[in-house]
Amino acid sequence: MRKRELKNVEWTILIVAIILCVIGLIALFSATNETEHADFNKQCIWFVVSLIIMIGVMIIDYETLVKISPVLYGLFILLLIGVLFTPEINGATSWYDIGFFSFQPGEFAKIFVILFLALAINKIQERGKTEINRPTRLLVLLAILGVPVLLIIKQPDFGTAAAYIVAAALMIISAGINKKYIIGTIILVVVSVPLIYNFILPDHAKARIDIFLNPESDPRGAGYNIIQSKLAIGAGGLTGMGLLKGNQTQLGFLYPKTTDFIFAVIGEEMGFVIAGTVIILYVLLITKGIYVAKTAKDETGALIAAGITGIFLFHVVENIGMVMGLLPITGVPLPFISYGGSSLITNFILIGILLNISSKRQKTIFVK
């Protein structure tokens, strides 16, 4: 990477990601106290590995990644099909267990779906800016998105599938889709939600929605986790109960505290000050992602940055929302903070692509 490109890099994005990782590691250290910090030690290793991979992604021009994205997209479609035949873990077939590492193809596939969608949109727009509004072109984009989304729903993993949809929606909106499609989609969603709930959703998904609406209806069963999470956050107060001192965290009432409910650990043991700081850092990360999209040197870079920002936006809103009882529990991890090698590596690859895009821009051009 040339000196001029290094100066153009939006380093704030990387700094924010590292700070979030440090906060996550501190919370994870406390949350794994009874297991002699096994997951904490693994996460430290994945943190170092993720940074190394991110540097490699920064060096490779993102246009090269876009060119090879169809091949990688196809590879991960095969992996998503194959994972359906693996043994269930926590009721889902989402992982390949390769001994030292549980590989989750649904996480990594986010990268290549975004890159392939950006390539497809760019090819469509080469024929004219309004081509994106032709129904046949939209069907092509929906097919590219629909295949991995349906395979992930089959696992089942509705949270990850929703992240794909949000990312793709932001990309298509950024590409200049006609407002009538946006309005039509909103109407379709409003009409279809009750139909999906009553006739399509499996029982476990319905239960999550019911418990979200009234967790106290089953305080010892399905509503237990969200009740304990809200108790943990409330008990933290302004400055927290202190590391290794949280009641819900240390006494085993909060589960799973290293992944889905890691934000509750932060709220209980570090308090509102650090929990609020985490939210501010995420807002800064998402804002900078939008800025990279606005200042990208070309349409492809702008679309990719928009898709990546959509992934982060969904994960942050959904995870923190479900931990606070504001949204249904879907099991999506909190970026850079939740335990998990697949998630951490994927997030840093996405950060590397954002930094790559920002390095190629002209800083004198702020508005397209």
92-109 pLDDT, tens per residue? 888 888 777 788 999 999
- Give the residue with greater pLDDT, 255 vs 357: 357
Q: pLDDT band at 368, cuts 50/70/90?
A: very low
pLDDT of residue 54: 96
Are β-strands 102-103 and 96-97 bridged in parallel, bridged antiparallel, or unpaired?
antiparallel
Q: Tens of pLDDT along 11-64?
A: 999 999 999 999 999 999 999 988 888 899 999 999 999 999 999 999 999 999
Q: Mean pLDDT, to the nearest integer, of 278-297?
A: 96
Angle, CA 291 vertex, CA 285 and CA 295 arms, to 5°: 145
Q: Tens of pLDDT along 293-328?
A: 999 999 999 999 999 999 999 999 999 999 998 888
* Interatomic CA distance for residues 206 and 122, integer angstroms: 39
Q: Mean pLDDT, to the nearest integer, of 106-115?
A: 96
Spatial CB neighbours of 332, under 8 Å, sequence gap ≥ 6: 159, 160, 162, 163, 260, 314, 315, 318, 319
CB-CB contact of 117 with 168 (8 Å): yes
- Tokens 């650990």 correspond to 265
pLDDT of residue 367: 41
Residue 366 pLDDT more than 70?
no
Read off the amino acid at residue 350: L
Average pLDDT value over all residues in the chain: 90
Q: What is the DSSP string of 104-120?
A: -HHHHHHHHHHHHHHHH
* Interatomic CA distance for residues 162 and 248, integer angstroms: 29
Q: Mean pLDDT, to the nearest integer, of 251-268?
A: 92
* Interatomic CA distance for residues 79 and 104, integer angstroms: 9
Query: Quick one: tokens of 58?
Result: 């920064």
pLDDT of residue 365: 42
- Give the residue with greater pLDDT, 103 vs 120: 120
* Interatomic CA distance for residues 161 and 110, integer angstroms: 10
Task: Report in angstroms the alpha-carbon separations of 352 from 14, 109, 281, 359.
Answer: 8, 16, 18, 10
Nearest to 121 by CA among 293, 302, 300, 290: 300
pTM of this prediction? 0.91
Residue 4 pLDDT more than 80?
no
Nearest to 343 by CA among 13, 109, 26, 32: 109
Q: Tens of pLDDT along 166-216?
A: 999 999 999 888 888 889 888 988 888 888 877 777 777 777 777 777 877
Query: Quick one: tokens of 298?
Result: 């070309």
Residue 249 pLDDT more than 50?
yes
